[in-house]
Amino acid sequence: MGELAPRDVVSRSIFLHLQKLSESDPNRASDRVWLDLRSIPPEKIQRRFPKIIQVCQKWGVDVFKQPIPVAPAAHYWMGGIVTDLQGQTSIPGLYAVGEVTSTGVHGANRLASNSLLECLVFGAQFASLGKSFQRHDESISTARSATKAIQADEWQKDEAVLERIHQALPVLMWNNAGICRDAEHLESAIAQVRDWRYGFDRLSVTRTLTSLEVGVTLSLPSVRIGQSIRRWAETQNLLDNAYLILRSALFRTESRGGHYRIEYPHTDPNWQVHTLVRGEDWLRSQPIPTQEFGD
């Protein structure tokens, strides 16, 4: 199937090819794989791939005269959050739709563009949620009112720690839980993420923010710190997601869809289950029956 093979197959082929080149000759570590569109009529490229043309022009690549350097990249989401048919999660008032959810309409390797269909179908269910949102808002309005301050010097001490984590975490995940995975690298990354989470929980800003109660107003000394609170929240979410990905990848001792374990390269029918995460417990769901199209 060549470049039309499933995306995990193409990505893994590129990755392993470049890895072999760099292992045989360290000077070739920066080698690339190229996508050549020059055999396609220019008018067809302009009609079908206008965005690709724009992006390549930004980086000085003329797709009509030059091959395009390509490399594997991380996909967005391929499911995870369990919802019902109305998009409701296990947390009251929290709804999810699209690629982030595990609704059962896609498998171990997300099909191209089916997230649009998912959003149309499940997003339409949100029209019936007005009453539940109104009750949720009323419960907040009746909470007590108070103010809690966060000091500028406290934030400045913690900001550097957050920035180091924010910069290092993507590198750690790509190197240890990227296209090809194995137990040694996964366990090493888990230990590092645990260490970062331990330090994150003990930051003075974390203690202040996580102790806030409903109805308590946070007083900030400057707008810049207010913007940086988003950075704090993003870092917390990234650490949690990284831990879930790493632990789940270590737990599943097979290869399936976008998940590829070097020491378990084949799909195991005993693993035709969902991974269920409850706190620190990683569990298997009941076996998922195989269904053919049209059944």
How many angstroms separate the Cα of 4 from the Cα of each of 1, 10, 125, 278? 5, 8, 35, 38
Provide CB contacts within 8 A for 60, sequence distance 6+. Answer: none
| 181 labelled catalytic | no
Spatial CB neighbours of 291, under 8 Å, sequence gap ≥ 6: none
What 253-260 contacts at long range (C-beta under 8 Å, 24+ apart), as own/partner pairs, is 256/108, 257/8, 257/78, 257/107, 257/108, 257/109, 258/7, 258/8, 258/75, 258/78, 258/108, 258/109, 258/110, 259/108, 259/181, 260/8, 260/12, 260/179, 260/180, 260/181
Selected catalytic residue, list 7, 197, 247, 284: 7
Quick check: 212 and 155 in contact, CB under 8 A?
Answer: no
Q: Which residues are catalytic?
A: 7
